[in-house]
Amino acid sequence: MISPALSALREGRFILLYDFDDRERETDFAIRADAVTPGAVVTMRRDGGGLICTAIRQDAARRLGLPFAREILRQCAVAEKTGDIPYDPKNQSSFSLWVNHRGTFTGITDRDRALTITGIADEVKKSLNGGGHAFSSRFRSPGHVAVLIAADRLLSERHGQTELSIALADMAGITPAVTICEMLDSENGNALSKEDAKRYARDKGLVFVEGPEVLEAWDAWKENR
């Protein structure tokens, strides 16, 4: 299902992205960040229910001056340490800053979050095309959209939703900024089961793709570059 997933991302449509049976066992909505509309935010918060985040490639984060949250919190007692994540004990989380676009009001509305997300994608695109950026002039923190920074070597280093989504973006040839949101089960409060996520995908005509498929395609893509 890799080719249909890449086509959907190029066209600005949602895909459903499941990670691995031995990791989080979660399905995320995933959509290219520069295609996010207020309606897309509605879909994620209503049918997903998890955290709406925007993943970006690490080289873009460096150019934009965006740190990992753990770097900022290092002096705090609650700062994350290696081994703190039960489903990924060898790595640390990909969280960076939580931001609002300066053109937003509260930052939490569907329109505000869509503006913040597309603004992040625009800054990522500019930074990777050699242009200047003005991230601090366009955004403020704290805010209501979490930025996630992918591992530098992507799936060769970490197998999170962040890396899966950015690997797909690279293979699709789009700006490496992808908005993701976990799908939760409204009945039991847990992560939506893979079977129910697949059923949702069939009902909505969405592509469902799993981590092992992405990893296999990514390895082949790297070899042929």
Q: Find the catalytic residue in 24, 26, 100, 181.
A: 100
Question: Is 112 a known active-site residue?
Answer: no
Please, is 139 exposed, middle or buried when counting C-beta atoms within 10 Å of its C-beta (0-12, 13-18, 19+)?
buried
Say what the alpha-carbon torsion angle 208, 31, 55, 133 is, to the nearest 10 degrees. 160
Find the catalytic residue in 19, 24, 26, 28. Answer: 28
159 is catalytic: no
Rounded Cα gap, residues 119 and 203, in angstroms:
31
Is 100 among the residues known to form the active site?
A: yes
Considering 26, 53, 159, 200, which one is annotated as catalytic? Answer: 53
Residues 6+ apart with CB under 8 A from 62: none
Dist. CA 132–CA 3, nearest whole Å: 33
* Ramachandran sector of residue 154 (left: φ over 0; alpha: ψ -120 to 50; beta: rest): left
Q: Which tokens is 175 given? A: 């700006």
CA 3 – CA 209 distance, rounded (Å): 10
Catalytic residue among 47, 59, 80, 87: 87
Active site residue 182: yes
Considering 80, 110, 144, 196, which one is annotated as catalytic?
144
Catalytic, out of 34, 123, 182, 210: 182
User: Which residues are known to be catalytic?
Assistant: 28, 53, 87, 100, 144, 182
